[in-house]
Structure 1
């Protein structure tokens, strides 16, 4: 007789205990960084205030893995409590020599309502050498109004 133990995880998604230890399996490249909100804050399991760019405008965060990774789940958490703005992010994966689109998403933040964006994607990516997150924090692109720096509360992979 075959036996299967079922869990309280009906989705089959990796649980919080199975997040990849990003700080141990690769390196990170960033286009800019506020010294008070370093990228390590957004990549650690515990999280501590997230990452913030040092200047307004589009930004890039690139995770480069020491060994190719298999990724089943990607979780992105953005927080904006102070300003109304439209943001777009674009997530790409480098598999072999091919840069593949994973997801592209726009979101409208409003201090009176939507202050957080939590995206949780189930994916099947094998042989990932790098993962790149491009963030455009202000889709308005008005140079006189664009004061918004990109930020990321947390990025987790499983």
Structure 2
């Protein structure tokens, strides 16, 4: 019996579809315009662990990269200084914490070309509570034109705990 006839016997209507592996889905997303930050920006970072450099946060999570981690506890800043002013319409940040309970705050700011000071995009706090709440994924739709710099400040524990900041992924479109 052909597969269309088998489907007709079910309660669902016909739909053309196929299952794609996740890695193919992710590569399609990249083709849709995620900015190659390694090619278009200079990165300033307050610290980085040698086993978890900042460039690991700019790669796909599917590539098995562990992301960026600070080498020392406390508030950290990641600043992208673009070679040419950019138009940014989407910002994706992914944070993970599998070991300790804490409340993290992050602030995203941008710097318009030829202007000062930085303008705040978002300020957000999130409670990590392993083993249940271990991931924070945020995607923001924005309309930022003439972006000369983007800054992410992370306070890994607003309670003052001795915690190193980390960032699993940062993507811009």
Normalization by structure 1: what TM-score?
Answer: 0.86
Written as runs of structure 1 = structure 2, the 5 A alignment for 1:66-105 is 66-96=83-113, 97-98=115-116, 99-105=118-124
CA distance in 2, matches of 1:105, 1:95: 22
**CA offsets, 1:91-126, max 9 Å, x none?**
000002131111100000011311000000000000
- The structure with more radius of gyration: 2
Structure 1 unmatched runs, 5+: 1-14
CA distance in 2, matches of 1:128, 1:53: 25
Aligned partner of 1:122 among 141, 151, 166: 141
Using the TM superposition, give the Cα deviation of residue 47 of structure 1 relative to its aligned residue in structure 2, in angstroms: 6.0
Aligned partner of 1:133 among 152, 156, 162: 152
Which stretches of structure 1, 4 residues or more, deviate above 2 A after TM superposition? 44-47
**Matched length:** 141
Using the TM superposition, give the Cα deviation of residue 147 of structure 1 relative to its aligned residue in structure 2, in angstroms: 2.0
Normalization by structure 2: what TM-score?
Answer: 0.78
State the superposition RMSD in angstroms.
Answer: 1.4
8 Å contact 1:27–1:65 — kept in the other structure?
yes
Using the TM superposition, give the Cα deviation of residue 44 of structure 1 relative to its aligned residue in structure 2, in angstroms: 2.4
Residue of structure 1 equivalent to 2:66: 49
CA distance in 1, matches of 2:126, 2:64: 22
CA distance in 2, matches of 1:44, 1:150: 18
* 2:170 equivalent to 1:149: no
Q: Indicate the structure with greater helix content.
A: 2
Q: Indicate the structure with greater strand content.
A: 1
Structure 2 unmatched runs, 5+: 1-28
